[in-house]
Amino acid sequence: MQAVAQRLGFTTMALYRYFPNKEALIDACVDAAMGAPPETGRTGQGWRADVKRWAYAKRAMLCARPWLAELPFVAAPHGPNWLGWHEAFLSTISDTGLSPEDMMDMLSVVHGYVSGSSDTAISLSRARSRGISFEEWAQAVGEDLCRAIDDPRYPTLSAILSSKSGGISKESPLPARNSRPRTLDESFDFGLERVLDGIGLYIDALKRP
């Protein structure tokens, strides 16, 4: 708090008039950095396309600010941007017939996937911010994964990484699919489609008599 106050030209006590503790200040920084969500409302292309649009926007936001993943987010209540992202998502599935509790759970499911599956892309963004090229980053990640090959502690992972159709090289951070190297976007989209498949099956089940 003292360092921030000095940077702003305030006394530490002046800063405490606005933020009761460091956690509240960090939460305010996180909320400001998240920015406004994509425009709420449906596009007319169906809930699936709208959820994908939200997911890609959330991923782009996280990758543009890789330092967000390193900060705690613990104070309450959370800020308007954080709530705005919630509203933007919920509006995409508001006419699907899901119950209010189901809608909140679907938000948790999709948000969890986007946050978890963006780790690799965030790592790349962080590396680029430090002047590391994609090729250097990919080689480092690929070499780390390749250490599992032929290691008896990781028999299943080793078999996948060394397979003909899904093998990995020291120059690639992702195992191939159908013998073709994948991009981070392709990997993200594959998982997102499977998440949406599951949501779609659940919605269809609710409509059956």
Domain membership of residue 16 (yes or no) is: yes
pLDDT digits (tens, 9 = 90+) for 142-177: 888 889 999 999 999 999 888 888 788 766 777 778
Domain membership of residue 38 (yes or no) is: yes
Q: Give this prediction's pTM.
A: 0.86
Structure tokens at 173: 């951070």
Phi then psi dihedrals of residue 148, to 5 deg: -75, -20
Q: Please give the average per-residue pLDDT across 65-86, as a whole number.
A: 79
Query: How would you label 131-170 residue by residue, b for 16+ Cβ within 10 Å and e otherwise?
Result: eeeeeebbbebbeebbebeeeeeeeeebebbeeeebbbbe
Look up residue 178 and give its DSSP letter: T
pLDDT digits (tens, 9 = 90+) for 24-48: 888 888 899 999 997 755 677 899 9
CATH of the domain at 188: 1.10.357.10
- Is 40 strand, coil or helix? coil
pLDDT digits (tens, 9 = 90+) for 122-149: 999 999 989 999 889 988 888 888 899 9
Find out whether 37 and 85 touch, Cβ atoms under 8 Å: yes
Domain membership of residue 137 (yes or no) is: no
Whole-Å CA distances, 40 to 12, 92, 94, 113: 39, 8, 11, 20
Q: Please give the average per-residue pLDDT across 97-101, as a whole number.
A: 96
Domain membership of residue 188 (yes or no) is: yes
How much is the pLDDT for 91?
A: 93
- Segments forming the whole domain that contains residue 59: 2-122+183-207
Number of structural domains, the chain? 1
